[in-house]
């Protein structure tokens, strides 16, 4: 059986090589793979940490707003401890963009 050097497999391989040569695509694929390898708790921790960063506040200020300690906040961000739904909701509210009112 002779393989077609221009067949479907060759086209798929050519496309994969083209995509792999793009640094942006490679970085995105690597991040996706790394995230897929996380446990559910680690993934939740990353999502929590991303929300904390989006508030624009210090971690100490976020902890105060959530009614918890800075050290407990850290355990949420690492996925060591799962935050309650109440804490998660408070963080979402804190991270929500506020409309700017001009006098």
DSSP string, 61-91: HHHHHHTS-HHHHHHHHHTSSPPPHHHHHHH
Residue 26 · residue 20 · CB < 8 Å? yes
Looking at residue 74, its pLDDT comes to: 97
Q: What is the pLDDT along the chain (103 residues), one digit of tens a residue?
A: 456 666 777 777 777 777 777 777 777 777 887 878 888 999 999 999 999 999 999 999 999 999 999 999 999 999 999 999 999 999 999 999 887 777 7
C-alpha–C-alpha distance, residues 79 and 88, integer Å: 13
Looking at residue 52, its pLDDT comes to: 97
Quickly count helices (H) and strands (E) in the chain. 6, 0
**Segment holding 17, helix H or strand E:** helix 8-20
């Amino acid at each position: 059986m002779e393989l077609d050097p221009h067949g479907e497999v060759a086209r798929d391989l050519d496309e994969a090589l083209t995509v792999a040569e793009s640094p942006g695509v490679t970085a995105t694929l690597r991040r996706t793979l790394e995230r897929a390898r996380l446990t559910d708790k680690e993934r939740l921790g990353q999502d929590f940490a991303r929300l904390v960063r989006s508030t624009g506040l210090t971690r100490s200020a976020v902890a105060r707003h959530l009614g918890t300690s800075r050290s407990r906040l850290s355990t949420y961000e690492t996925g060591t401890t799962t935050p309650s739904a109440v804490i998660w909701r408070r963080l979402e509210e804190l991270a929500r963009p506020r409309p700017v009112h001009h006098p």
